[in-house]
């Protein structure tokens, strides 16, 4: 067994040495060409670009995780306006932050934002630590965000590695090593940290991210406009669109949510999601989850007996919505019911007037329902 491990280690070493020699020339050209392009031709504008305030960098990077720049832009501006400093964010009520975050998804980011803001104010004198390793100890700050804060705010040479960066590196060096295995991630990350400019780490990180987003795009890369084209192996071999290689296929879990939208006069029943699942802390209608889509017979389900005790209610409509999350697809069916008696809400439920709905934060699928007229709201 020991021999086998030693052999695997040796092979890995040989592979790394081999790559190092092969790519030496390309490596030398990479950082130089990238920085030249950034200085002279990179005209991409974003509100957080070039700032050195670690709080705003952290805010922008947290918002941008799993989010397109176009979508994150308005959220960033709203957050900066509502909470110009770390201290402002730390004292904000959770409900307020959830409301601002509404529609962005991945609400754990939002919870971590508040947790870390409070942690920094109470235990770090309201300042971000100035080392990559210490940044990593904060909740919600992973290697990418820590590298962004360290390089943009403190000029420390830590390379950001995200989908854009992996794509550029894999294509430029013609690497077929899959980007989504732990071995692949280790190799690409070590390459990125080898390439980063020691003099201008922030500019280097910004440049590679911008190049990946605007020129070395996932589909139809603009090789004709690329500053790296003359040394790019994928371009040379005409295989840009076949790289990077991925091995995993995501399995998508299908979930069937049945919502009871129960109206009593101008009021509606809501409940807060408390379990460790998607959308924790957000509000929704009383919910029944099942293995398959259900029909109106669900209105007689025991779980809804308190809200629909007898026949003093009318079913007004049934409508469907869908929402795709990273690993789940949500099929939601909304049963809109009107009742002539106040529903007996349980301890975790509330009866809310329609004009007060804007005070609550909802998952995207509920907002969709409330906005499009079926729910008569928003």
Which sequence positions are flagged as catalytic?
61
Which has the closest alpha carbon to 360: 283, 253, 303? 283
Stretch that binds ligand SF4, among 111-119, 136-144, 227-235, 255-263 (CB under 6 A): 227-235
The first and second tokens of residue 287, run together, are 């919910």
232 binds ligand SF4 (CB under 6 A): yes
- Tokens standing for residue 216: 């070395």
End-to-end CA distance of the chain: 64
- CB closer to ligand SF4, 18 vs 222: 222
Handedness of CA 227, 233, 234, 238 (dihedral sign): positive
Applying CB under 6 A, among 34, 195, 203, 226 the residue interacting with ligand SF4 is: 226
Contact status: 234 vs ligand SF4 (CB under 6 A): yes
* Interacting span for ligand SF4 (CB under 6 A) from 83-91, 97-105, 219-227, 360-368: 219-227
Nearer to ligand SF4, 100 or 240 (CB): 240
3-state secondary structure at position 105: coil
Q: Which of residues 166-195 bind ligand SF4 (CB under 6 A)?
A: 168, 171-172
Cα distance between residue 67 and residue 190, in whole Å: 25
* Strand boundaries in the chain, DSSP class E: 253-264, 267-272, 283-284, 287-290, 313-324, 328-339, 349-353
Stretch in the footprint of ligand SF4 (CB under 6 A) among 26-34, 63-71, 229-237, 260-268: 229-237
Three-state secondary-structure class, residue 329:
strand
Task: Name which of 241 and 289 has its Cβ closer to ligand SF4.
Answer: 241
What part of residues 236-275 is at the interface with ligand SF4 (CB under 6 A)?
240
Alpha carbon 128 to its chain's center: 22
Q: Which of 19, 29, 121, 223 binds ligand SF4 (CB under 6 A)?
A: 223
**Helix 143-154 and helix 54-64, axial crossing angle in degrees, nearest 10:** 150
Nearest to 366 by CA among 277, 269, 300, 298: 269
Q: How far is the CB of 191 from ligand SF4 (least distance, A)?
A: 14
Residue among 105, 129, 184, 221 that touches ligand SF4 (CB under 6 A): 221
Supply angle C-alpha 63, 68, 73, rounded to 5: 60
Identity of the residue, 166 or 332, whose beta carbon is nearer to ligand SF4 in the bound complex: 166
Q: How far is the CB of 320 from ligand SF4 (least distance, A)?
A: 41
Q: Does 33 sit near ligand SF4 (CB under 6 A)?
A: no
Tell which one of 235, 263, 334, 360 touches ligand SF4 (CB under 6 A). 235
Applying CB under 6 A, the span of 182-190, 202-210, 224-232, 288-296 interacting with ligand SF4 comes to 224-232
Question: Considering only CA atoms, which of 122, 109, 127, 100 is closest in space to residue 61?
Answer: 109
Instruction: Name the token pair of 66.
Output: 């799993």
CB 360 within 8 A of CB 352: yes
Q: Is residue 165 within the footprint of ligand SF4 (CB under 6 A)?
A: no
- Site for ligand SF4 contains 156 (CB under 6 A): no
Query: Judged by CB under 6 A, which of 148, 187, 215, 270 binds ligand SF4?
Result: 215
Minimum CB–partner distance for residue 144 and ligand SF4 (Å): 20
Which residues have a Cβ under 8 Å from the Cβ of 224 and sit 6 or more positions away?
Answer: none
Q: Shortest distance, CB of residue 34 to ligand SF4, whole angstroms?
A: 10
Cβ distance to ligand SF4 smaller for residue 166 or 365: 166
3-state secondary structure 283-312: EECCEEEECCCCCHHHHHCHHHCCCCCCCC
Query: Closest approach of Cβ 71 to ligand SF4, in Å?
Result: 24
Binding positions for ligand SF4, rule: CB under 6 A = 168, 171-172, 215-216, 221-223, 226, 228-229, 232, 234-235, 240
């Amino acid at each position: 067994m020991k021999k086998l491990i030693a052999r695997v280690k040796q092979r890995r070493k040989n592979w790394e040495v081999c790559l190092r020699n092969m790519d030496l020339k390309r490596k030398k050209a990479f950082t130089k060409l990238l920085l030249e392009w950034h200085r002279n031709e990179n005209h991409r504008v974003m509100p957080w670009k070039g700032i050195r305030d670690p709080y705003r960098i952290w805010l922008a990077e947290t918002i941008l995780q799993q989010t397109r720049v176009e979508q994150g832009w308005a959220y960033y501006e709203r957050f900066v306006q509502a909470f110009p400093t770390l201290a402002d964010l730390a004292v904000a009520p959770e409900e307020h932050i959830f409301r601002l975050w509404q529609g962005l998804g991945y609400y754990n980011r939002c919870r971590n934002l508040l947790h870390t803001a409070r942690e920094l104010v109470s235990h770090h004198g309201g300042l971000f630590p100035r080392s990559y390793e210490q940044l990593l100890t904060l909740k919600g700050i992973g290697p990418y965000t820590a590298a962004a804060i360290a390089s943009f705010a403190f000029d420390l040479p830590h390379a950001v590695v995200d989908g854009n960066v992996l794509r550029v590196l894999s294509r430029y060096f013609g690497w077929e090593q899959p980007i989504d295995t732990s071995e692949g991630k280790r190799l690409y990350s070590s390459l990125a940290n080898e390439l980063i400019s020691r003099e201008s780490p922030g500019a280097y990180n910004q440049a590679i991210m911008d190049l990946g987003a605007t020129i070395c795009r996932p589909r139809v890369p603009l090789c004709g406009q690329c500053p790296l084209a003359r040394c790019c192996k994928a371009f040379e071999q005409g295989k840009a669109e076949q790289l990077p290689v991925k091995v995993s296929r995501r399995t998508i879990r299908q979930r069937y949510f049945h919502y009871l939208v129960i109206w009593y006069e101008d009021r509606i029943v809501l409940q807060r999601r408390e379990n460790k699942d998607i959308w924790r802390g957000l509000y929704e209608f009383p919910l029944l989850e099942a293995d398959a889509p259900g029909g109106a017979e669900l209105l007689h389900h025991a779980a809804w007996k308190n809200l629909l005790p007898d026949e003093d209610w009318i079913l007004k409509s049934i409508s469907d919505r869908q929402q795709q999350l990273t690993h789940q697809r949500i099929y939601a069916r909304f049963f809109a019911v009107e009742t002539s008696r106040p529903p007996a809400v349980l301890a975790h439920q509330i009866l809310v007037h329609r004009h007060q709905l804007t005070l609550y934060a909802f998952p995207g699928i509920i907002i969709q329902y409330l906005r499009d007229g079926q729910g008569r709201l928003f």
